[in-house]
Amino acid sequence: MTTAIVVAGGETPPDTVRSMLPPDAYVVAADSGLDHALALGLSPDAVVGDMDSVSRAALDALDERIEVQVHPVDKDASDLELALRVALDFGADELIVVGGHGGRLDHLLANVGLLASEDLADVAVRWLAGRDLVVPVRDAVTIEGRARAMVSLLSVGGPARGVRTEGLRWELDDEDLDPTSTRTISNEFLGTEATVSVRSGAVLVVVPEAVA
């Protein structure tokens, strides 16, 4: 599996995120995500965006061999979407997205839709949004957590059909979830892992405080 770490802007990620990142992954920074990447001790392979929020100090610290893609401010894709495209072009089939939370609500909602989109259906995605872990599910995913830790399921982009869970306090057995329902908020891990599968549609699994 080829792993890429994509570091987005938004609020500064907690230092403890470092322990959840593989050391040999391809790293793409989206605009001010470069500042976050450097603070986490990551060495970016590429920097992408319109560069309207990254610091001059971070840009000056870049090695000249690092790929920098500067896009116009008037563009049809967010900096995060552009960075994801670079990671996919590299051949990544596993994406770990760091940041992209906090700040503007419109950006946060756009990031939710982006990471749950069909364009990433064949890619394993984990989103470390602050101290929360978010995992989009379009097939089946096993997620690790602490016993009795909270976990929520949210359908996105329309109803999710045939949802099944194993390892949660309140199980789902071939059930449909509507994006307007709050039924599957605040479930709990029974042990240290749970499996969520979906027949059609998409579900976001959210594990609050997953980053210690």
Do residues 24 and 92 share a domain? yes
- Residue 212 falls inside a structural domain: no
Contact assessment for residue 38 and residue 13, using Cβ atoms and an 8 Å cutoff: no
Do residues 24 and 69 share a domain? yes
- Polymer length of the chain: 212
CB neighbour list of residue 31: distance below 8 Å, 6 or more residues apart: 9, 47, 48, 49, 50, 51, 52, 53, 54, 79
- Cα 129 to Cα 210: distance, rounded to the nearest angstrom: 10
Do residues 122 and 175 share a domain? no
The pLDDT assigned to 104 comes to: 82
User: What integer is the mean pLDDT of 152-168?
Assistant: 96
The pLDDT assigned to 88 comes to: 96
- Cα 167 to Cα 145: distance, rounded to the nearest angstrom: 10
The model's pTM is 0.93
Triad 125, 157, 2: Cα angle to 5°: 15
The pLDDT assigned to 15 comes to: 92
Residues 95-147 have pLDDT tens digits of 999 998 877 899 899 999 999 999 999 999 999 999 999 999 999 999 999 99
Give the number of domains in the chain. Answer: 2
Q: What is the CATH number of the domain that holds 151?
A: 2.60.120.320
Q: What is the CATH number of the domain that holds 121?
A: 3.40.50.10240
Do residues 14 and 56 share a domain? yes
Q: Which of 101, 130, 159 is the last residue of a domain?
A: 130
Q: Which of 79, 112, 130 is the last residue of a domain?
A: 130
Contact assessment for residue 50 and residue 72, using Cβ atoms and an 8 Å cutoff: yes
Give the residue numbers spanning the domain of 55.
3-130
Do residues 189 and 158 share a domain? yes
Tokens 């610091």 identify what position? 55
Backbone angles phi, psi at 143, to 5 degrees: -120, 135
Contact assessment for residue 164 and residue 41, using Cβ atoms and an 8 Å cutoff: no
Do residues 120 and 200 share a domain? no
